[in-house]
Amino acid sequence: MASKALINLLLLLLAVTGGRSDLYFHYENRCSYTVWLAASPSIGDADPERNPETLEIFSMPDDWTGSIWARTNCANNASFYFSCETGDCGSGTIDCQSPPPTYPVTLLNFDIKQSVVSYEVSLNHGHNLPVRIQPVGGSLVDGGGSCPVVDCVADISNVCPSNLVAKNKNGQYVGCYSACDQLKDPKYCCTGDFSGPGACQPNEYSQRFKQLCKLAHTYPADSDPPVYRCSGATGYNVTFCPS
């Protein structure tokens, strides 16, 4: 696989905003299709298009809290307005500027404070493609031990209830909405009466996600597994469509 991979090495020596860390994220696209990386807030990735079987090594800001995701099926229309079937940023250009993305989208959430990094895979805004986060080295801040993988690798389309299915304009499945985003019920969103400690419980929709993706967070109060805090990892491998 490595021999086929096009290694795209981006070493940003000068920071655009804030300092760059020694923390390198390896973004590998193992999907059979191109994805367009996106991050909010921006990580300064000027060339977010990732072809299949490519690896990008990217130095992350040393103080950054945000989400990373992959956009799918992006294209310019006849008036050069850039948009994507999932994860679209709404900017009309390949550069996201200030998203939130359109849902559904599988989110990789990170909180980087120098060498201590919290990380999770979240299905709180649905699912558009399989992902994995693999810390490279490091140990858990709470309790020690190595920093575990988190991922959601399974094909969610198999368990996506029909009322949560997202389709493109040709009627093809492109992702699965979260119950909160699609049904807007406080019970699923953990808001209002459901916002207090213990008030928000897994629901029939989140349980379907959980069945296939035990290491991902499937509703807003999901704390199983906890959000891992990892210290001293040299990097994080982020894989889209890990097999």
Positions touching ligand NAG (CB under 6 A) are: 26, 28, 55, 77-79, 81, 134, 136, 237
Secondary structure element (H or E) that encloses residue 66, with its range: strand 63-76
Task: With beta carbons less than 8 A apart as the criterion, state whether 106 and 128 touch.
Answer: yes
As measured in angstroms, the least distance from the Cβ of 220 to ligand NAG is 29
178 backbone dihedrals φ, ψ, rounded to 5°: -80, 155
105/108 Cα distance (integer angstroms): 10
As measured in angstroms, the least distance from the Cβ of 196 to ligand NAG is 39
Residue 149 is given by DSSP the state P
23/133 Cα distance (integer angstroms): 14
Q: Which residue has the tokens 């655009």?
A: 16
Task: With beta carbons less than 8 A apart as the criterion, state whether 179 and 191 touch.
Answer: no
Of residues 13 and 78, the one with the C-beta less far from ligand NAG: 78
As measured in angstroms, the least distance from the Cβ of 219 to ligand NAG is 29
As measured in angstroms, the least distance from the Cβ of 232 to ligand NAG is 14
Of residues 79 and 162, the one with the C-beta less far from ligand NAG: 79
Of residues 81 and 173, the one with the C-beta less far from ligand NAG: 81
Burial class (CB in 10 A: 0-12, 13-18, 19+), 7: exposed
As measured in angstroms, the least distance from the Cβ of 160 to ligand NAG is 26
